[in-house]
Amino acid sequence: MSERFGSLFAPCCILLLSVYASLYVGLLPPVWVSILPLMPLILAGVAILLAWHFNKGRVFILVLLLLIPKLYGGSNQTASITAYLVVSCFCVALLAFVKERGFFNRFAVNRLLFVAMLVCWCYAVERHWVSFAFLDQAVFQLPFTWSDLLLWFGLVVSIMLMAMAWWLSNDAFHASGLISILSLIIISRFSVSGVQYDTLLSAQCLLWIWFLLMESYRMAYLDDMTRLPGRRALNEQLVGLSKNYAIAMVDVDHFKKFNDTYGHDMGDKVLKSVAQQLKLFSAPGRAFRYGGEEFTLVFRRAQVKEVEAVLETVRESIEDAQVEVLDPKKKKDIEVNVTASIGVAFASAGEIPTNVLKRADEALYQSKEKGRNRVSKSLPAKI
Instruction: Identify whether the C-beta of residue 340 lies closer than 8 Å to the C-beta of residue 250.
Output: yes
Q: Does residue 74 have a pLDDT over 50?
A: no
For residue 298, report the phi and psi dihedrals to the nearest 5 degrees.
-115, 125
Q: Which residues have a Cβ under 8 Å from the Cβ of 105 and sit 6 or more positions away? A: 57
Question: How far, CA to CA in Å, does 305 sit from each of 37, 178, 302, 383?
Answer: 61, 45, 9, 20
Starting at the earlier edge strand, list the strands of the sheet with 286-291.
286-291, 294-300, 245-252, 340-346, 375-378
Instruction: Identify whether the C-beta of residue 337 lies closer than 8 Å to the C-beta of residue 320.
Output: yes
pTM, two decimals, is 0.76
Q: Does residue 323 have a pLDDT over 90?
A: no
Q: Does residue 206 have a pLDDT over 90?
A: yes
Tell me the C-alpha distance between 346 and 360, whole Å.
8
State the average pLDDT for the chain: 84
- Lowest mean per-residue pLDDT among 19-23, 29-33, 78-82: 78-82
DSSP letter (8 states) at residue 145: B
Handedness of CA 303, 294, 227, 315 (dihedral sign): negative
Confidence of residue 344 (pLDDT cuts 50, 70, 90): very high
Average of pLDDT values for 103-113? 83
Helix H or strand E encompassing 241: none
Average of pLDDT values for 38-64? 91
CATH match for 231-378 among 3.30.70.270, 3.40.50.720, 3.40.50.2020, 3.30.300.100: 3.30.70.270
pLDDT, tens digit (0-9, with 9 covering 90-100), for 124-178: 776 767 666 666 666 676 666 777 777 788 888 999 999 999 988 878 899 999 9
- List the domain boundaries for the chain: 2-221, 231-378
Confidence of residue 382 (pLDDT cuts 50, 70, 90): low
Query: Which range has highest mean pLDDT (235-244, 361-370, 373-382)?
Result: 361-370
pLDDT, tens digit (0-9, with 9 covering 90-100), for 350-359: 788 889 999 9
Tell me the C-alpha distance between 369 and 5, whole Å.
44
Q: Which residues have a Cβ under 8 Å from the Cβ of 364 and sit 6 or more positions away? A: 249, 250, 251, 341, 342, 343, 376
Q: Does residue 69 have a pLDDT over 80?
A: no
Average of pLDDT values for 329-342? 86
